Structure 1
Amino acid sequence: MIALPNDDHTCGWYAALPPAAPAKKLVGLQKVDYAIIGAGFAGLAAARRLAELKPNARIILIDAQRVAEGASGRNSGFVIDLPHKFALGHPDPAHKQKLLKLNRSAIAQLEGLVNKHNIQCQWSAAGKYQGAIGERGEAHLNHFEHLMKDLGEPYHWVEKEQLKKVLGTDYYSRAIFTPGSYLMQPAALVRGMGDHLPENVELLEQSPVRSLKKSDGQWILQGDQGTVTTPKVLLATSIFTKEFGYLKNRLLPVMTFASWTRPLTDAEMRRYHGELDWGLTPADHAGTTLRMTADRRILIRNTYKHVPKYGANVTDETRRWIQEDHRKAYLARYPDLADVPFTHTWGGVYAISRNFTNFFGQLEDGVYASACDNGVGAAWGTISGTLLADLVVGTDSQALSDIQYVTGMPSLNPPEPFLGIGVKTRIAFEKWRSRSEL
């Protein structure tokens, strides 16, 4: 049995959107040239690129949920150009430069779509702060500065008093600002892209694929009320790739959580004393991510949980204690805004691998996948989905060579119960070790 997404219905980003039009669902027998499973960043990009390369082909993009309800609409709203913190320490300079080039290509592609279709998603070239609270965080910042120098990328230090003018809090001791990241409302961006797909792409939502099997040279996607047959399947399913029998025991399902406030009133903004539209990630990777959105909401993100059953692992009680932790982090930063309530607390599942390696390529005849974004899905999903389409149709490019250079096979996980015990222990240890930066 394929375990389906089981996301909560408390995602603030999604709740802030206007109601969606009725979903078109999979009904009856559909014969197509290409089927893409998963309508997040990777699936949407793959569909657009396939339609461009094969304008006469029939393409189906299918998702178990509504577009933007899944992981792509649940992140903190960063599109980051720099390689991930773990990748920044890679010993091969070419590896890092290729990642940087790929990420920037994704940003350019997303910005082009936002402008072309006038997608109202708070798209902003705001850059990103990486902030420290105490000695541990500052040590991480010093290391980050060294990595940035090696990469040859621009950055500058922001000291406590100047940082306070931006963030509206003196909680942080200092930060490093990098200019190349973008901010956005992820659910609005993803839905906007779903609303403007090419004519030869048919989007089917609320249509879970219950099985994937091959018969007479065709792949059969079995749904509840219909079937898709196709010679080519693209899995843009992230952690759920293993539900189709691929990369089993190589992907780790991890959920991270966020809470946000309602928009601040004019009076509350005067108490806040900071700026709008900025994002801060923690110098210590297990610390707290902080956002002030363009529409005046303060967002707190921290807490990680191993979720082998995805959303089914998270109860209302779990969300309550997570929100309490978020509230402590919020009050430590904004005690003068203690009367501003949280309106939503939500989680999102993503895939990581023990060797922090992304998978990209062919799994077997007629099946291709981009899986395991290691927590940086907006840029990576966009460029990997685009280039997966190139791979499927045989279009060569330097970008395709670059993504093949930087990807590989995620390493095997230990068997259960050792895996679960090890992951939970590691998460708890990192939280304890990073407690001063939360």
Structure 2
Amino acid sequence: MNNQAINLPNDDSDCGWYDILPKPTPSKVLKGEQRADYVVVGAGFAGLAAARRLAELKPEATIFLVDAQRVGYGASGRNSGFVIDLPHKMALEHPDPNFKQALLRLNRSAISKLEGLIKTHDIDCQWSHAGKYQGAVGERGVAYLENFVSLMRNLGEPFEMVERDRLQKVLGTSHYTQAVFTPGCYLMQPAALVRGLGDSLPSNVQLFENSPVTGLRKGSSGNWVIELAGASVQTKNLLLTTSIFTQEFGYLKNRLLPVMTFASWTRPLTQAEMDATGITEDWGLTPADHAGTTVRMTKDRRLIIRNSYQHVPKYGQSVNDDLRDKVRAKHRVSMLLRYPHLANVPFTHTWGGSYAISRNFTNFFGKLDEGVYASACDNGVGAAWGTIGGTLLADSVVGSDSSLLNDIRHVSGMPSLNPPEPFLGMGVRTRIRWAAWNSRSEL
């Protein structure tokens, strides 16, 4: 329990995904003294899924979903728009095949759930079953690809090797030596998807935006009291779907690493610019070397470059304009290495997004305290893990059971403890710099 000041999100105002959306309707702010059967804090993928599932399971219950910002403005609306079915590299190397199969079932259930909601509610978010390329530039990247292929064969999953010439016909660049294509990934516009999920919540979910939580305490009646500026809400059931901010409520302290990754994108390319490079629409490429560069071409022809990682102990407050300018310049170099013909095409937006990772690459799911539950630490797969984690957290809170609930309990656990500061910050910064240096040929 934490009744001290809570450090709030402080995201930049330059997220392209959010900026191109229509102006949202006025937000509903939580006011006065309230009571609710369930309170979900954090309206990203996990919070939206948890609130929706609670409403389905408990249609007569009063459910509050509270966020410090507008839906889609935070981390869930700032990723690169991949919904990935395959486990990430660390999980793929897990020795237990049942562990990996459970992750696959969970991720694919999340994709199916999202696709159903998009169709049901006609959410316009550039949803596309485009698959994903994992690309290598030099020898280091190729070695990582060879390991990835071996892991895929052991997993029994389909993949396709794509060599430079054929790859160039899709990406419009000869920068990559080869890639592995996997068919199960979906692409989307994350801010549009998250807002659409928020706009289509069941009627017994009350969504409160621009309502930052400032404190949490146990009331005299045994209920949890969530404090906000000029307001409070009491509940017996508190679901924290707050990712890295979970530690601000006094839980998982010294177990989560706050990391920010950055992206820049261009204006929509003209047909002449598309033709000059031979680039096609609607694809995504992640680097074989995880510290390399992610590249995406959206359905509306915007080229996205994502690389550069920062340890952000104060979240957005750790990043200043000078750092953003340096990141933007680095993105420009990465773009022109791949697309020198686009030298006259500017970036229109550069943004960052904070997320949580753990040193043992373990996601947390379950009970934190009497009446307090969380799905936290997505380790870089927020869209899929958040969706299924939030859904199953609601199941767990109301006492439901399912094979997927067994799966998520099997693959989650307790993130390991971090060293104390200043050693933690020194170690993380050194590791990030070392990874960037080793991976410089893949940037």
Is TM more than 0.5 here?
yes
Q: Which residue of the partner structure matches residue 391 of structure 2?
A: 386
- Report Cα offsets for 1:51-85 as digits up to 9, x if no partner: 00000000000000000000000000000000111
Alignment of 1:295-306 (within 5 A): 295-306=300-311
Deviation at 1:318, TM superposition (A): 0.6
Of the candidates 108, 112, 127, which is equivalent to residue 104 of structure 1? 108
The one-letter amino acid paired with 1:226 is A
Of the candidates 250, 268, 273, which is equivalent to residue 255 of structure 2? 250
The one-letter amino acid paired with 1:9 is S
Q: Which residue of the partner structure matches residue 212 of structure 1?
A: 216
Q: Which residue of the partner structure matches residue 278 of structure 1?
A: 283
The one-letter amino acid paired with 1:212 is L
Deviation at 1:249, TM superposition (A): 0.3
Of the candidates 169, 181, 199, which is equivalent to residue 165 of structure 1? 169
Deviation at 1:226, TM superposition (A): 1.0
- Report Cα offsets for 1:101-147 as digits up to 9, x if no partner: 00000000000010001100000000000000010000000000000
- Report Cα offsets for 1:183-228 as digits up to 9, x if no partner: 0000000000000000000000000010111111111011102111
- Report Cα offsets for 1:146-193 as digits up to 9, x if no partner: 000010000010010000000010000000000000000000000000
Q: Output the CA distance in 2 between the equivalents of 1:30 and 1:271.
A: 59
Of the candidates 414, 419, 441, which is equivalent to residue 436 of structure 1? 441
- Report Cα offsets for 1:26-71 as digits up to 9, x if no partner: 1111111000000000000000100000000000000000000000
Q: Output the CA distance in 2 between the equivalents of 1:87 and 1:264.
A: 37
Of the candidates 307, 313, 317, which is equivalent to residue 318 of structure 2? 313
Q: Which residue of the partner structure matches residue 39 of structure 2?
A: 35
Q: Output the CA distance in 1 between the equivalents of 2:280 and 2:273.
A: 13
Q: Which residue of the partner structure matches residue 95 of structure 2?
A: 91
Are 1:236 and 2:241 matched, yes or no?
yes
- Report Cα offsets for 1:353-410 as digits up to 9, x if no partner: 0000000000010000001000110000000000000000000111001100000000
Q: Output the CA distance in 2 between the equivalents of 1:64 and 1:295.
A: 30
Q: Output the CA distance in 2 between the equivalents of 1:261 and 1:80.
A: 24
What is the DSSP-based 3-state SS (H/G/I as helix, E as strand, rest coil) of the residue aligned with 1:361? strand
Q: Output the CA distance in 2 between the equivalents of 1:280 and 1:266.
A: 22
CA contact (8 A) 2:263 2:351 kept: yes
Q: Output the CA distance in 1 between the equivalents of 2:306 and 2:271.
A: 24
Q: Output the CA distance in 2 between the equivalents of 1:338 and 1:114.
A: 36
Q: Which residue of the partner structure matches residue 370 of structure 1?
A: 375
- Report Cα offsets for 1:207-256 as digits up to 9, x if no partner: 00101111111110111021111100000000000000000000000000
> Which range moved further: 264-273 or 278-287?
264-273
Q: Which residue of the partner structure matches residue 140 of structure 2?
A: 136
The one-letter amino acid paired with 2:176 is Y
Are 1:221 and 2:250 matched, yes or no?
no
Are 1:146 and 2:139 matched, yes or no?
no
Percent identity of equivalent pairs: 69
CA contact (8 A) 2:274 2:280 kept: no
Q: Output the CA distance in 2 between the equivalents of 1:311 and 1:304.
A: 13
What is the DSSP-based 3-state SS (H/G/I as helix, E as strand, rest coil) of the residue aligned with 2:213? coil
Q: Output the CA distance in 2 between the equivalents of 1:276 and 1:266.
A: 11
Count the aligned residue pairs: 438
Unaligned runs of 5+ in 2: none
Q: Output the CA distance in 1 between the equivalents of 2:106 and 2:148.
A: 21
User: Over the residues paired in the alignment, what is the CA RMSD in angstroms?
Assistant: 0.5
What is the DSSP-based 3-state SS (H/G/I as helix, E as strand, rest coil) of the residue aligned with 1:19? coil
CA contact (8 A) 2:246 2:252 kept: yes
What is the DSSP-based 3-state SS (H/G/I as helix, E as strand, rest coil) of the residue aligned with 1:303? strand
Q: Which residue of the partner structure matches residue 15 of structure 2?
A: 11
What is the DSSP-based 3-state SS (H/G/I as helix, E as strand, rest coil) of the residue aligned with 1:29? strand
What is the DSSP-based 3-state SS (H/G/I as helix, E as strand, rest coil) of the residue aligned with 2:305? strand
Are 1:182 and 2:186 matched, yes or no?
yes
Q: Which residue of the partner structure matches residue 201 of structure 1?
A: 205
Q: Tell me the TM-score normalized by structure 1.
A: 1.00
The one-letter amino acid paired with 2:315 is Y
Q: Which residue of the partner structure matches residue 417 of structure 1?
A: 422
Q: Tell me the TM-score normalized by structure 2.
A: 0.99
Unaligned runs of 5+ in 1: none
The one-letter amino acid paired with 1:70 is G
The one-letter amino acid paired with 2:327 is I
The one-letter amino acid paired with 1:239 is I
Are 1:427 and 2:432 matched, yes or no?
yes
The one-letter amino acid paired with 1:368 is Y
Deviation at 1:100, TM superposition (A): 0.3
Q: Output the CA distance in 1 between the equivalents of 2:101 and 2:265.
A: 35
Q: Which runs of 4+ in 1 moved over 3 A?
A: none
Q: Which residue of the partner structure matches residue 294 of structure 1?
A: 299
Deviation at 1:268, TM superposition (A): 1.2
Deviation at 1:272, TM superposition (A): 2.4
What is the DSSP-based 3-state SS (H/G/I as helix, E as strand, rest coil) of the residue aligned with 1:154? coil
